[in-house]
Structure 1
Amino acid sequence: MAAHLHHFFPRNVSFSYEALRTAGYANYGGGDLGEVISICSRIPSGDEDSWMKEWRMAGDRACAAASKSLAAKNKVSSREAYLRASNYYRTAEFYRREHPEDDEVVLSLSNQSWASFVSAMKLMPYAFEEIKIPYEETTLPGYILSPGKTNEPCPTIVFNGGFDSIKEEAWFAIAAPALERGFNVVAFDGPGQGEALRAQRLVFRPDWENVLTPVIDYVVTRPEVSPEKVFLFGWSMGGYLAARAMTSEHRLAAAVLDDGVLDFSSAFNEQMPAVARQMLHRHWDYPIQQGVGMLMSISTGVRWAMLNGRWAFGADTVPDLLRKVQDYTLVGITDKITTPVLVLDAPDDHMLKGQPKALFDALKCEKVFVDITELEGGSTHCHMGAFSRLHQVIFDYLMPLI
C-alpha cells in the first residue's frame, strides 16, 4: 500500500485517507495544507468525535474569514474561504453514521457544506446556477457551471459521484480544471448521494441508466450545452454507476472512469471469507452480523463502510446490505457499452484494487487505460493528492475530442 496513505494517521488507514482527500482539494481552494496538518495534529487516531469537532471548528473559522473578506470587498479571498469551509464541513460529518438519517449534526453540517459552496460559486468569474433535474416523480438537485456568461454552446462534462461523494466535490474533482479549459460542468446528487439521500431519502439503485438518462435528457436541452459533445465523469463508485448507465445510454461523446469498476460488490466481498459468502447466500444472517460486528468494532474503515452502506443503500441490516450490493456488477453486460472510455487505475486502491483492469479487459468499446503510480503520488483511490497529474491525464484524453 502506498506509503503516503499512512502519512496523516499512521495507524488508521481510513482517517489517513480521508485527511489526504481533504488536503488534496487544496489544488482548487478546498484547503490549506498547513491548516490540514494542524487540524489532524489535534485529532487522536480513530477518535470520531474529535474528528467531527475539529473539522467543524475549521469550517466555522473559514466561514468567519469569508464573511470578513466579503465585508472588506475582497471577493477572491471570500470565495476561497467559503470553499475551504465547504470541504471542512463535509469532512466533519463523514464518520457520523450511527443513525445519520435522524442525526441533526449530519444534516446541519451537510447544510453548511452546501451553503458555503453556493456562496463560493456566486463569487466565481463563471456562470453558476442551481438546478433541479426531473427524475421520476421528483427531481434531483444539481449545479451547472459555465466558463462564460453567454449561452454559446460548449462541450460539457457531467459529474457522476460515488458511494459517499457529494455534488459539491465536483468542483475539486473535475469542475475547476474543466472550466479553465472551456468546458461546462453539470454536477448532480443521484439516489444514495448527498442532498438526494439526506433531504429526499432517495437510496441507491443498481440500474443507474434510469438515473443518468433523465440527467442527460435535461443536459442536452440547456442552451449552453453542445449536445454532441457531452462527456461523462464517473468518480469512485461512480466508475460502476456511469459504466452501468452507458449499457443503454449511448448519447455521450466519451467517458472517464476514475476509477474503473467492474463489480462494486468486490469492495465488500473481499472483506468476507468464502464461508461467510455461503452463509449470506443461505440467509444465515446471525453469524454474519456477529462476525462483521467484530470487524466493525476494531476497524474504522469497515465500520464506516457498513454504516454508510446501510444508510445509502436503504438496508435494514449488514447482511441485507451485503446482499443488496451483489446487484452492482457489470459482469456479462460490458459488451453493451459502446461509448469510448478512459479507464483510470490507482494501483494501491484500498477499496477497489484490481477493478479498473478487470473492467478494461471486459470492455469491447474503444478504450484507453492509464494507471497513476505511487512515484507520481497518485496511486491511492481516485488519485487523491495528485490532482494536477490526474487532470493532465484526463484532459489530454478529452481535449482532442472537442
Structure 2
Amino acid sequence: MPSLINYLFPRNPSFTFEALRAIGYASFGAADVAEVLSICSRIPSGDESGWLQEWRKAADRAVTNAQNSLAKGNTSGARDAFLRASNYYRTAEFYRRENPFDDDVSKELAELSSAMFFAGAELMPWTLEKVNIPYQTTTLPGIFIRPKAKSSRPAATVIVNGGYDSTKEEVGLSCAASMLELGFNVLCFDGPGQGDALRQQKLVFRYDWEKVVTPVIDYVITHPDVDQSKIVLYGMSMGGYLVARAAAFEHRAAAIVLNDGVYDFGSAFRRESPALAKLLIRYGWDTTVNRFLELKMRWNTGIKWAVLNGKWVFGVSSGVDMMRKTDEYTLEGIVENIKTPVLVLDAPDDHFLAGQPEELYKRLKCEKTFVQLTREEGASLHCHCGSFARLSQVICDYLMERLFQS
C-alpha cells in the first residue's frame, strides 16, 4: 500500500502533507473534505502564490457564509464556517516565510486565522478564556478551555504544547473537543518560537524547554478548576521533543503524551547526508553548507520552507546556523531522568522524523506505552495528519485508563 504523502500532489510531498493536515480538521467541523480537494485541484504543484490565493479565497468564502448563517440564527453552521476560515487562513499563510516579521500579508493571514478561531469559539458549547501565563519578565499567551457545565470538583487538565510551526489555536482545534467531551480541561499556549509569542514578542525557541513548561504548570495549578494530581502534558510534532525534555526536569504531570516521540529533533535536518552535514558544520564549512541548502531550496518546497521557518523561529540568519541550533535539541544524557508514564505515538511514514519514536521509546526507563498507527487507518503520516479522529481516540483511551482506572 503506497503512502498518502504522494497522493494529492505526486511531485510535492510538502503540498500533499499540508493539504492533508487541513483536511484532518474535518473531524472537528473545520474543513470539508470535498472543498479541500477542490482547492487543491486548482493549485499547480509547487506554486506557492497559487497556494495562498486558493486557500485565501476559500477562507474568505467561509467567513461570508459564517456571517450569513449567524444573521439567520444558525449558530452551529456559523461556528463551523468560522473554524473552516481559521484553518484555511492558517494554511494559506503557511509558505510565507521569507521575512514574516515584516510581511504584511503573513501578519494579516495569521491575525485572521486567530480571529476566526475565536469567532467560532464563542459559538462552541465550552467556556473559553484567553490567559497570560507569567514567564520570566513577560507572559505567554494561552487559551484555557473547560466544559461549560462547571464541575463541582476540579478536573483533569491537558496542557497542549505545539511544535515547529504550531499556534495555540490550531493545537486547540486538533484535540480539545474530544477531551472536553470527556470532562477534561484543556490549556493551549504559545511558547517561545510559536504563534503570538514569536510574532508579537519575538521570543524564539530554546532547547531547555523545562524553563517554559514549569511556569505553565505553576500557572495551571493555581486555577480552581484544575485537579493538581491529574495534569497531562501533550506534545505535538517538535513538541514531542519539547515536552519530553521538560519531563526530564519537571515531574508534576500524571501522564505524558508524545505525538510523535522525538529523541533527537536535529535529525530532521540531517536526514539526507547526516555524516557529511555534521562534518562540514563541525569544521566551519558554513559557506559550502549554505550554498548546498540554497540549491536544494530552489527545487524542494519542503526544504525551502523548513530552512526559512527555522531561521525565523530560532532567530538566526543562515541555514547552517539553524542546523547548529537544532543540534542542541536532543535528549541525550537526560532521557533517563523522565519518571512520568509516557505514551509514545509513532507514524511509520513520517517524512520529518522517521524512526525517532522507536529511538525514544527504546531509551526511556519510565513506565511507557508505544502505539504505532497505520497506513490502513490513513494515520501513518507525521503526527497522523488527516486522521485526527482516530488519533484522538487512541490518546483519550490512554488518558482515561491512566487517570481514572489505575
Q: TM-score range by the shorter chain?
A: over 0.9
Which residue matches 1:107?
Answer: 107
Q: State the Cα distance separating 1:269 from its structure 2 match.
A: 1.3
CA RMSD after TM alignment: 1.1
Which residue matches 2:361?
Answer: 360
Which residue matches 1:256?
Answer: 257
How far apart, CA to CA, are the structure 1 residues paired with 2:342 and 2:237? 15
Aligned partner of 1:171: which letter? G
Partners of 2:158 and 2:184 within 8 A in 1? yes
How far apart, CA to CA, are the structure 2 residues paired with 1:293 and 1:57? 31
| 1:31-70 C-alpha deviation (Å, 9 max, x unpaired) | 0001101111111100001101111111111111111111
Partners of 2:3 and 2:349 within 8 A in 1? no
Aligned partner of 1:250: which letter? H
Q: State the Cα distance separating 1:272 from its structure 2 match.
A: 3.2
Which residue matches 2:38?
Answer: 38
How far apart, CA to CA, are the structure 1 residues paired with 2:391 and 2:287? 43
Which residue matches 1:74?
Answer: 74
| 1:113-134 C-alpha deviation (Å, 9 max, x unpaired) | 0000011111111111111111
With normalisation by structure 1, the TM-score equals 0.98
2:395 paired with 1:394: yes
Which residue matches 1:282?
Answer: 283
Change (3 A) 1:205 1:188: same
Which residue matches 1:209?
Answer: 210
Q: State the Cα distance separating 1:199 from its structure 2 match.
A: 1.2
| 1:76-120 C-alpha deviation (Å, 9 max, x unpaired) | 111111100000000000000111121011110000000000111
Partners of 1:204 and 1:313 within 8 A in 2? yes
For residues 173-322 of structure 1, the aligned pairs below 5 Å read 173-322=174-323
Please give the secondary structure, in 2, of the residue aligned with 1:327: coil
Aligned partner of 2:7: which letter? H
Which residue matches 2:3?
Answer: 3
How far apart, CA to CA, are the structure 1 residues paired with 2:75 and 2:258? 35
How far apart, CA to CA, are the structure 1 residues paired with 2:29 and 2:157? 22
Please give the secondary structure, in 1, of the residue aligned with 2:21: helix
Please say which of residues 255-264 and 57-66 is displaced more in the overlay.
57-66
Partners of 1:151 and 1:223 within 8 A in 2? no
Q: State the Cα distance separating 1:273 from its structure 2 match.
A: 4.7
Q: State the Cα distance separating 1:148 from its structure 2 match.
A: 2.7
Which residue matches 2:345?
Answer: 344
| 1:130-166 C-alpha deviation (Å, 9 max, x unpaired) | 1111111111111011013426411111000000111
How far apart, CA to CA, are the structure 2 residues paired with 1:25 and 1:97? 23
For residues 363-378 of structure 1, the aligned pairs below 5 Å read 363-378=364-379
How far apart, CA to CA, are the structure 1 residues paired with 2:2 and 2:295? 27
Aligned partner of 1:189: which letter? D
Aligned partner of 1:75: which letter? T
Q: State the Cα distance separating 1:286 from its structure 2 match.
A: 0.7
How far apart, CA to CA, are the structure 2 residues paired with 1:283 and 1:222? 49
| 1:183-221 C-alpha deviation (Å, 9 max, x unpaired) | 110000000011111111110000000001101110111
How far apart, CA to CA, are the structure 2 residues paired with 1:57 and 1:220? 42
How far apart, CA to CA, are the structure 2 residues paired with 1:244 and 1:165? 18
Gaps of 5+ in 1: none
Which residue matches 2:28?
Answer: 28
Q: State the Cα distance separating 1:271 from its structure 2 match.
A: 3.1
For residues 145-160 of structure 1, the aligned pairs below 5 Å read 145-150=145-150, 152=152, 153-160=154-161
Q: State the Cα distance separating 1:25 from its structure 2 match.
A: 0.8
Partners of 2:270 and 2:277 within 8 A in 1? no
Please give the secondary structure, in 1, of the residue aligned with 2:307: helix
Aligned partner of 1:317: which letter? S
Change (3 A) 1:14 1:319: same
Please give the secondary structure, in 2, of the residue aligned with 1:265: helix
Partners of 2:160 and 2:172 within 8 A in 1? no
How far apart, CA to CA, are the structure 2 residues paired with 1:64 and 1:176? 25
Q: State the Cα distance separating 1:385 from its structure 2 match.
A: 1.4
2:165 paired with 1:135: no
Q: State the Cα distance separating 1:332 from its structure 2 match.
A: 1.5
How far apart, CA to CA, are the structure 1 residues paired with 2:86 and 2:387? 20
With normalisation by structure 2, the TM-score equals 0.97
Q: State the Cα distance separating 1:274 from its structure 2 match.
A: 2.2
Please give the secondary structure, in 1, of the residue aligned with 2:77: helix
